[in-house]
Amino acid sequence: MRILIVEDDDILRRQLIQGLQAAGYAVDSAANGVDAHHVGDSSPYDAVVLDLGLQQIDGLTVLRKWRSAGRDMPVLILTARDGWHEKVAGIDAGADDYLGKPFHMEELLARLRALIRRAGGHASAELACGSLTLDTRNGRATVDGQALSLTSHEYRVLAYLMHHRDKVISRSDLVEHIYAQDFDRDANTVEVFIARLRKKLPPGLIETVRGLGYRLTAPVDAPANGEIHQHRLCGSGGNDARHDRA
Ligand code: CA
């Protein structure tokens, strides 16, 4: 999961970057409205934290520009503590949530988790696919109740696939959502992360959809020859097996 932080206060921006990185996110940042508009317009983010009082272009204008250009990522605005008028204007401009300054990092993190879940169509903080669960509150992944030991990049790949379970995710999508802008990216490393995850997960959970990417779904059963041809949607409750493997 990749987050954009827009904040012109240097100290607060650094605190936000550190807090979000510590929570497992890939983080980009912008310190003024012009940079914010450009970065948010050109890269896909799972959520944005947007201060409203910015140099060059104010945050509300940046948000309106994004929305009118069809950028639909979740946006949480940072407002003055008692600025109810800012909150109203921000929500009307397309913000999904707000937080008044000063705020607690834990509250910001909880609100971001909720925004990211909702954007993926999930209401619960604990995501499940077959025997695999991911508790988004603490980053804990389990299979049949047993905790998995994951590196930070393996976690980001798994978290992105879990938030978009049952959907085909391309390798380039994964690259965009697990690395920050200035990271030395290599699409081949995604294959390495997928291979490592597969060793830690039940067989068949991460499907390769040839030519398109990967899909996290629950295999219906694991036949003796190890080839799995049926998957069921993680979110389906388990009865509608599919046969559409590419
Ligand atoms: Ca400001």
The domain tally of the chain equals: 2
Same domain, 131 and 236: yes
pLDDT tens figures, 166-222:
999 999 999 999 999 988 888 789 999 999 999 999 999 999 999 999 999 987 755
Q: How remote is the CA of residue 51 from the centroid of ligand 1, in Å?
A: 6
- Reference 105, options 1, 18, 32, 180; nearest CA is 18
Which band of pLDDT confidence, cut at 50, 70 and 90, is reported for residue 241?
very low
**How much is the mean pLDDT over the chain?**
90
Same domain, 92 and 186: no
pLDDT above 70 coverage of the chain, percent: 91
Output the domain CATH number for residue 16: 3.40.50.2300
Q: How remote is the CA of residue 33 from the centroid of ligand 1, in Å?
A: 10
Q: How remote is the CA of residue 28 from the centroid of ligand 1, in Å?
A: 17
Residue 107's pLDDT is 98
Which band of pLDDT confidence, cut at 50, 70 and 90, is reported for residue 233?
confident
Same domain, 139 and 103: no
HEC assignment per residue over 86-135:
HHHHHHHCCCCEEEECCCCHHHHHHHHHHHHHHHCCCCCCEEEECCEEEE
* Beta-sheet pairing, 206-209 with 213-216: antiparallel
Residue 242's pLDDT is 43
Same domain, 18 and 115: yes
Same domain, 28 and 50: yes
Output the domain CATH number for residue 240: 1.10.10.10
pLDDT above 90 coverage of the chain, percent: 83
Same domain, 52 and 133: no
Same domain, 199 and 215: yes
Same domain, 99 and 80: yes
pLDDT tens figures, 71-115:
999 999 999 877 899 999 999 999 999 999 999 999 999 999 999
Residue 6 has pLDDT above 70, yes or no: yes
Same domain, 131 and 115: no
Q: How remote is the CA of residue 115 from the centroid of ligand 1, in Å?
A: 22
Contacts of residue 3, defined as CB under 8 A and 6 or more positions apart, other chains included, come to 20, 25, 26, 27, 28, 45, 46, 47, 48, 49, 112
Q: Which of the listed residues 60, 93, 119 is the one where a domain comes to its end?
A: 119
In the chain, the largest separation of any two C-alpha atoms, in whole Å, equals: 63
Q: Which of the listed residues 119, 151, 172 is the one where a domain comes to its end?
A: 119
Residue 239 has pLDDT above 50, yes or no: no
Residue 240's pLDDT is 41
Same domain, 131 and 187: yes
Residue 238's pLDDT is 42
Q: How remote is the CA of residue 135 from the centroid of ligand 1, in Å?
A: 33
Q: How remote is the CA of residue 54 from the centroid of ligand 1, in Å?
A: 5
Same domain, 36 and 76: yes
159-164 mean pLDDT: 96
53-75 mean pLDDT: 97
Contacts of residue 167, defined as CB under 8 A and 6 or more positions apart, other chains included, come to 215
> 51: domain range?
2-119
Q: How remote is the CA of residue 50 from the centroid of ligand 1, in Å?
A: 9
Residue 221's pLDDT is 59
45-50 mean pLDDT: 98
Q: Which of the listed residues 99, 119, 139 is the one where a domain comes to its end?
A: 119
Q: How remote is the CA of residue 83 from the centroid of ligand 1, in Å?
A: 13
Residue 236's pLDDT is 59
Same domain, 188 and 136: yes
- Can you tell me the distance from the alpha carbon of 165 to that of 10, in angstroms, rounded to the nearest whole number? 37
